Structure 1
């Protein structure tokens, strides 16, 4: 593989519930009133532990994000609202570039956080499947739950840092309802975008049967220019998204409920938003001008299809739930990677001769990269109905996924003609996992209980590889070969959580939990181990949640430390072929705090902040020698005490919202300020000659101000917003991992964006 830069039934939650406000800085309305001038917050119910519970009763650090609030401001991707979720680090659109609580090495490996849809794992577990974060449009989502810290006991492998859980809207058999929404937005210095969404809930039999259907389409504004000779243009970074969902609910009897659903989304992109910066040592200025690229064309497409069948049997004192799912994900990309593989055309110091030396000026290297994953999962669990002396969950889990990656490296002349195909890599992989899990909570008193849980997981993998390499490129990419490498491992994860309730509105918990990420197999790279082992984490956490001052203040605070062992790391050989190895240890410790204050009727003040120290606690091992070339493989430059990539020491969000009731209208205004502290970028590569080594880059801190206002009636909703008011050029990522043999590339946060949406409920 190439290394390159580039459940339960329906739980109704009020769409304006204020718990999401301090996280998203969105307008909301408080619930019951304790007097005429002070508002109190309403309850939020989540299913973080696979049963319906008040968010303040869950002994896990969990954030509930209201999906209707995301729609109101067109916050349609994790990039848009990631800074407002405590403990979440966003460094790009790949699932491998996301992390929680600092558990990351920056990408290239299998994910360290998991994604589920209604308790069902989504996408590929392995790095060879190139998993991407699905970023489903919030059209038919009820909420998004973010669970921080390892969730290996209830949710299984690859949730080292935590879990992002999409919770969809169930059909309602009691009444017909629907919603139509149109929106428009524009980016400063760019073009306009639009969105159209619609949903309808249709009862088929009162109390018994209903369907819900939804559909959406949107086109995001473009704002990146391109000056490349054969691909020049203004505002070239196109993103088009289309999708929908259909769901069917059947209450067969009072005790049996069937939920069937199908979800699909298609995303098409042309060119991108990766910008080159001035050469090292960089001064953070773009090389070709503000928001300007100089690359040949790039096209991409992501497709997601998800099918689920959920059957619930209510046995009175307990429930049996069966969840079956099939999901398909595809990703294709055709991009310019000339700066990643400069040795294709140019002679580099201490490197072998170029593959296609003497090619015409303006020739480029293109990577045609495609991957697909088909995944089946089955879970059966038996759970007590709660409110007993002993509550339990016990279950069985099985998953089978087949992924395929095809990567083609081509040299192309300025007119688009092919100079040669340097290498073709066909990489199929199979992953199969079986697990048994259980969770017990014993209530010693009304105030004190202890939760214990464990999960045994075993997996089998088989990674194949077929390489077809141009003879002139063998020295870089290796010989032609076909290989098949099996691997397997097993692991026990566990948790221990005492909880004490000082009152119904205030509790504290101590949580010790473990997680693991499966090992796997490498391609047959000379001098590299054929397999790598799992890595593990142990999380120690003290948390407090509750209400204060007659429920006018809500707080959620956690202090944590995570010890990470046998870290999986991506390294590359001299030809930039990637492999995974184990090595070193790391530690992440920090403090997370979320506050919501309702000082006056209609006013909400939200504040959240995270302080994190995530760093290596052991040197990264020296890379091995490639016997085919005699060159040192490129590992990572990492020493004890170095910070983990893209984890700021401090990040936070402050929001203030005010609403008024005026003659049957609800009017609101609000503002929020987000801060992301200084971060270190990816570890740089080692193994290259000293003259080509580069120093690791730090990303400067940045702040973003958002404004919003709106007008609502019982059926109409008008929302206005301005995001990134100061048009701040904050960085999502900066990549100089390959050292001085490659360009410094960066991705910025979204420029100033204006927008509005109009919706009608019926």
Structure 2
């Protein structure tokens, strides 16, 4: 008798639990809990409309600014550890990081995760990194899991992250100030300052100014000098928002934002114990910076609203670093690389606003982006090179839905037509490439059932797409030295996702449950393949991923102010049709797990707030995140370790003052987040060591 695959059996059990959960809850659902004892109602705009989080028929996780402050989550990199199925894939610098969601990610080509500031797309051709999103003074962060190619387009094949900024308050002047100081195990000290000022400009306009600066502690060993506090970094972040609503039909919003992250050496390590930088000299550095200017207006009229958003982005990332290279007399390659890019991104959409069962949305998206890449290698294995890359794309998109059964059953269909023309000119090309055009039609189908006040179900089927790319001829030449045939031009890849979800509001609102099993078919899978620390964008073949997201939020009736949060993701991934040429050169085979895809991720946290007299209150938070072990990037012995990250925050505050102690990585995890051998010495990154600190705050 054939045995049942235990993975499929487990998934079947989850599906059964998804459908049968409400009858198993013994609470009287007709009894509403007091308002201060129910889970917070979060309103999101993930589908370009305002909706309560529990009513959105896709897999979305949202974090309010207050919740992030309570957990001492200062930036997007820390927030990602709270998202089931998401993890850091690669970081070059304290401000240059890349992420994957549900196993869909890679270090090269366009990002597989889309990033947005409000409605502004953060996309520059050739620069695959997330914006350094500080959580201070944000309204919320929304993380959409699964392909979002209909509404968010190219780059959102695995999911989308939206940083929703806090709008100016027309009602009065206000300001906030935060300052922190911390000590790092085995390293130096760090500090940060955050400030925000709100200025009303009459009764219908306002200005909000936000700035942050942080000095991060160095803890790496620079072997050539013996400095064991190498790798310190400086991060500066700023934002200015002007917002006006001269009438109830018109709103104008202007934003200018920027970030600069500068670090000694970078995050890459040649050894973990002690953490030893790959850098060859004290002058090595990594730099990432961007400036973003965006203007958006919304006009409401006749049962619809028109929103138009235009964004200009200028971004630069720069690396001067030594990497291990056994063929060099010094044992190192000294590498300089700089990518300077700019982008003009525009979206206009028209959205229905009425009580009709028929709802619709139409829009267009245009992007024009250029990037100049400079690179040199010492010793001069190859001549210095420059590459000029360009992309011009246009998308048309639409969604329509109809509500049946007194609005309890909603059927939706969406479509996005996409065309992208790309070009590259390089001084190192013996023959210049002709421009390439990539196009795709990406549908989405969704069926949502409001079964009761306690239960909502949905089925979501969506296609994701990513444009092709170009490899550097220098990188190709190094890979061919390593035995891997190389192509300068890389074709597009696409993904189909099938997701069944359920969202429950139980125990009178005290318990929220979200469950979402899924299956993803990734065709022409592209991955970053390393040789001697340099990466090739390679089309490996096909792959499949399936799993389930689960999240719970519970506030017990017996203890006011106490809440628990739990979330987890189980994800199975495998290559199903590997390119034979790649398989022979890299030793990969069908059935192998995808690199940097943990089988399990999960978080468990508790927070408690209590009154201290009439004016003061106490706050406590304790959270544990688990990230399972991961395979490295196609090299013997390259793997990332399983990690458990414990963080805590405790303190007191009133309406104006606050003092809190905090700790990050309290278990002192020092294993690898990222590892690759690249047919050369293994290179690692790791979590920041244990950090203990204090924060003071002032609001007025």
Native 8 Å contact 1:261 1:307 kept in 2: yes
Instruction: Please say if 1:561 is aligned against 2:560.
Output: no
Native 8 Å contact 1:93 1:133 kept in 2: no
Which range moves more in the overlay, 450-459 or 522-531?
522-531
Task: Give the corresponding residue for 2:498.
Answer: 540
2:208 to 204, 208, 212: 212
Cα distance in 2 for residues equivalent to 1:528 and 1:724: 41
2:81 to 79, 83, 91: 83
Provide the secondary structure at the position in 2 that maps to 1:79. Answer: helix
1:731 to 661, 672, 682: 672
Task: Give the corresponding residue for 2:567.
Answer: 608
Cα distance in 2 for residues equivalent to 1:651 and 1:250: 42
Native 8 Å contact 2:88 2:97 kept in 1: no
1:406 to 374, 387, 390: 374
Cα distance in 2 for residues equivalent to 1:745 and 1:47: 40
Cα distance in 1 for residues equivalent to 2:664 and 2:534: 40
Q: State how 1:579-658 maps to structure 2 within 5 Å.
A: 579-599=536-556, 600-623=559-582, 636-658=586-608
Instruction: Please say if 1:444 is aligned against 2:404.
Output: yes
Task: Give the corresponding residue for 1:8.
Answer: none
Task: Give the corresponding residue for 2:18.
Answer: none
Shift of 1:528: 4.9
Cα displacement string for residues 559-596 of structure 1 (whole angstroms, at most 9, x for unaligned residues): 00000001124457x99875544341101100110101
Instruction: Please say if 1:462 is aligned against 2:447.
Output: no
Cα displacement string for residues 271-291 of structure 1 (whole angstroms, at most 9, x for unaligned residues): 2333223xxxxxxx63xx355
Cα distance in 1 for residues equivalent to 2:142 and 2:604: 20
Instruction: Please say if 1:678 is aligned against 2:672.
Output: no
Native 8 Å contact 1:198 1:216 kept in 2: yes
Q: State how 1:219-234 maps to structure 2 within 5 Å.
A: 219-228=215-224, 231-234=225-228
Task: Give the corresponding residue for 2:326.
Answer: 342
1:719 to 660, 666, 688: 660
Shift of 1:483: 2.2
Q: 1:112 to 1:35 in 2, by over 3 A?
A: closer
Shift of 1:77: 3.3
Shift of 1:123: 2.9
Cα displacement string for residues 524-562 of structure 1 (whole angstroms, at most 9, x for unaligned residues): 668755533211111000001121010110111100000
1:257 to 216, 235, 251: 251
Cα displacement string for residues 483-527 of structure 1 (whole angstroms, at most 9, x for unaligned residues): 243100210001111000022442000000111001234456687
Q: 1:636 to 1:620 in 2, by over 3 A?
A: farther
Shift of 1:132: 2.0
Cα displacement string for residues 701-750 of structure 1 (whole angstroms, at most 9, x for unaligned residues): 221222221212122232221122221223211111x22xx211211112
Q: 1:704 to 1:569 in 2, by over 3 A?
A: closer
Instruction: Please say if 1:379 is aligned against 2:347.
Output: yes
Task: Give the corresponding residue for 1:659.
Answer: 609
Task: Give the corresponding residue for 2:270.
Answer: 276
Instruction: Please say if 1:123 is aligned against 2:123.
Output: yes
Which range moves more in the overlay, 147-156 or 40-49?
40-49
Q: 1:173 to 1:142 in 2, by over 3 A?
A: same
Task: Give the corresponding residue for 1:11.
Answer: none
Provide the secondary structure at the position in 1 that maps to 2:81. Answer: helix
Provide the secondary structure at the position in 2 that maps to 1:643. Answer: coil
Q: 1:271 to 1:758 in 2, by over 3 A?
A: same
Q: 1:597 to 1:575 in 2, by over 3 A?
A: closer
Provide the secondary structure at the position in 1 that maps to 2:150. Answer: helix
Cα distance in 1 for residues equivalent to 2:554 and 2:650: 20
Provide the secondary structure at the position in 2 that maps to 1:622. Answer: helix
Task: Give the corresponding residue for 2:37.
Answer: 39
Q: 1:571 to 1:597 in 2, by over 3 A?
A: closer
Q: 1:579 to 1:672 in 2, by over 3 A?
A: closer
Provide the secondary structure at the position in 2 that maps to 1:41. Answer: coil
Q: 1:302 to 1:35 in 2, by over 3 A?
A: closer
Task: Give the corresponding residue for 1:101.
Answer: 102
Instruction: Please say if 1:502 is aligned against 2:460.
Output: no
Native 8 Å contact 2:278 2:322 kept in 1: no
Native 8 Å contact 2:72 2:662 kept in 1: no
Provide the secondary structure at the position in 2 that maps to 1:617. Answer: strand
Q: State how 1:89-488 maps to structure 2 within 5 Å.
A: 89-93=87-91, 97-104=98-105, 106-124=106-124, 126=125, 129-206=126-203, 208-228=204-224, 231-277=225-271, 286=273, 289-290=274-275, 295-297=280-282, 298-337=284-323, 339=324, 341-343=325-327, 345=328, 362=330, 364-385=332-353, 387-411=355-379, 422-445=382-405, 446-467=407-428, 481=430, 483-488=432-437
Task: Give the corresponding residue for 2:6.
Answer: none
Native 8 Å contact 1:464 1:485 kept in 2: no
Q: 1:577 to 1:660 in 2, by over 3 A?
A: closer
Native 8 Å contact 1:39 1:598 kept in 2: yes
Shift of 1:152: 0.3
Shift of 1:70: 3.4
Which range moves more in the overlay, 302-311 or 185-194?
185-194
Cα distance in 2 for residues equivalent to 1:245 and 1:557: 36
Native 8 Å contact 1:96 1:110 kept in 2: no
Cα distance in 2 for residues equivalent to 1:658 and 1:205: 39
Native 8 Å contact 1:183 1:757 kept in 2: yes
Q: 1:728 to 1:55 in 2, by over 3 A?
A: same
Task: Give the corresponding residue for 1:351.
Answer: none
Provide the secondary structure at the position in 2 that maps to 1:503. Answer: coil
Task: Give the corresponding residue for 1:356.
Answer: none
Native 8 Å contact 2:213 2:235 kept in 1: yes
Shift of 1:294: 6.7
Cα distance in 2 for residues equivalent to 1:531 and 1:590: 33
Native 8 Å contact 1:309 1:324 kept in 2: yes
Native 8 Å contact 1:683 1:696 kept in 2: no
Cα distance in 2 for residues equivalent to 1:266 and 1:290: 25
Cα displacement string for residues 273-329 of structure 1 (whole angstroms, at most 9, x for unaligned residues): 33223xxxxxxx63xx35566732321211110011001001152100111110111
TM-score normalised to the size of structure 2?
0.89
Q: 1:290 to 1:261 in 2, by over 3 A?
A: closer
Cα distance in 2 for residues equivalent to 1:723 and 1:529: 43
Task: Give the corresponding residue for 1:688.
Answer: none
Cα distance in 2 for residues equivalent to 1:376 and 1:606: 40
Cα distance in 2 for residues equivalent to 1:294 and 1:262: 35
Q: 1:68 to 1:580 in 2, by over 3 A?
A: same
Cα distance in 2 for residues equivalent to 1:197 and 1:577: 36
Cα distance in 1 for residues equivalent to 2:434 and 2:529: 19
Cα distance in 2 for residues equivalent to 1:529 and 1:292: 31
Provide the secondary structure at the position in 2 that maps to 1:641. Answer: coil
**Unaligned runs of at least 5 residues, structure 2:** 1-30, 478-484
Provide the secondary structure at the position in 2 that maps to 1:222. Answer: coil
Shift of 1:196: 1.1
Cα distance in 2 for residues equivalent to 1:35 and 1:313: 38
Cα distance in 2 for residues equivalent to 1:570 and 1:88: 18
